[in-house]
Homo-oligomer: A and B are copies of this chain.
Amino acid sequence: MNIAIIGYGYWGPNLVRNFSSLSNCSLKLVIDGRQERLKIAQNSYPTIEISTNTDDAFKRTDIDIVVIATPVFTHFEFAKKALEAGKHVLIEKPMTSSVAEAEILIELAAKKKKKLMVDHTFLYTPAVQKMKELIIKGDIGKVNYFDSTRINLGLFQPDVNVLWDLAPHDLSILNYLSDDIPYSVNATGISHLKNGIENIAYLTMNYSSDMIAHFNCSWSSPVKLRTMLVGGSKKMMVYDDTEPTEKVKLYDTGYSVNSDEDRKQIYIDYRLGDIFIPKLKNTEALSGMANDFISSILEDRDPLSSASLGINVVKILEAAQQSIKQNGKEIKL
């Protein structure tokens, strides 16, 4: 199988490095509109073909797989063309600019019997894999809350707000860790540029079950925080991605509610216990993602970071944006 990658900007080189090192496929073609970017690509990978014409990815019959690493607003067009041309497609996160676009792509992929995957790389990090493992083993119990903070002094994006930029990481992780399905969102935010693109935003996801999720995203913080709290009915986890090695901490901490029916009272039992910091694997997330994508094609199965996970993320982002524009109003999903 031969691969074409469209987009050699910030993330493209990482994709090229990982796909070119796989043995069960061949990276054939790198496409970018900017000649200077293609020159850099060719210097590093003299054997890979280059082009400034995206159509090469779709029209060339020796290309089986198209990887799309371009700005979000182009994802739909390129992915649609690639699928129509009968290629398997990998799209960078977030999948598309709207749920409608994502639905069309999913339908098209099904019709064409081609794989469509979204690169939510974080799912493949050793830290997230370990959290999933702890949840599956039953150590955490039922997830009761999810609280994420992803803030730093970041590049203001010209076309999408801070939620579209930063929250996909956390939304994909939550989608992966919890089976609960949110029924609505509330979001608030501010645009210090007064261009309608929020640089600080807060998102709450509401569930019919005993669960809440909250996301704090900012491009305007003097400190870089990457913290996730996962509160379970049995234990709790804290995931701090800025820690070099001790990223995941498992707290034998919790509270249980006892109600004394006779006296109509509620008692809470607190528990503060040991902390466990599991050793994490030393694998590169992007390599795991690339492997999963190629294997999902070869084995004709869904990849971990599937299109259905991708559309779930877009659904939340779209609803969140509506909520911000309507002053935090609850938007049903």
Q: Which A residues are closer than 8 A to B by beta carbons?
A: 46, 144-145, 147, 149, 151, 153, 155-156, 158, 184, 186, 188-190, 192-195, 200, 202, 204, 206, 210-212, 214, 216, 218, 220-223, 229, 231, 236, 238, 242, 244, 246, 251-253, 255, 257, 266, 268, 270, 272-279, 327-330
Contacts and interface: CB of A to CB of B under 8 A. Distances in A.
19 contacts: A147-B200, A147-B221, A149-B149, A153-B270, A155-B268, A156-B268, A158-B266, A184-B327, A186-B327, A193-B268, A200-B212, A200-B214, A221-B231, A221-B236, A252-B279, A274-B276, A274-B277, A274-B278, A276-B277
Contacts of A273: 279
Given A202-B214, A223-B229, 7 more contacts: A184-B327, A193-B257, A195-B266, A200-B212, A222-B251, A276-B277, A327-B330
Those 10 A-B pairs whose CB atoms lie nearest each other, nearest first:
A186-B328, A222-B251, A275-B277, A188-B204, A190-B212, A222-B253, A222-B236, A327-B330, A156-B268, A273-B279
B238 A212 contact: no
A153 B272 contact: yes
Contacts of A266: 156, 158, 193, 195
A186 B329 CA distance: 9
A153 to B, nearest CB: 6
A154 to B, nearest CB: 9
Contact of A328 (B192, B218, B275, B329): B329
A242 B273 CA distance: 19
Contacts of A189: 212
Contacts of A231: 220-222
A188 B194 CA distance: 26
A221 B227 CA distance: 12
A238 to B, nearest CB: 6
Which of A190, A236, A251 has its CB near the most chain B CB atoms (within 10 A)?
A190
Contacts of A184: 327
B190 A145 contact: yes
Contacts of A272: 153, 279
A202 B203 CA distance: 9
A234 B272 CA distance: 27
Contacts of A46: 46
Nearest to A237: B222
Nearest to A242: B244
A255 B252 CA distance: 29
A326 to B, nearest CB: 9
Given A202-B204, A276-B276, A221 B214 contact: no
B216 A188 contact: no
Nearest to A235: B222
A151 B228 CA distance: 13
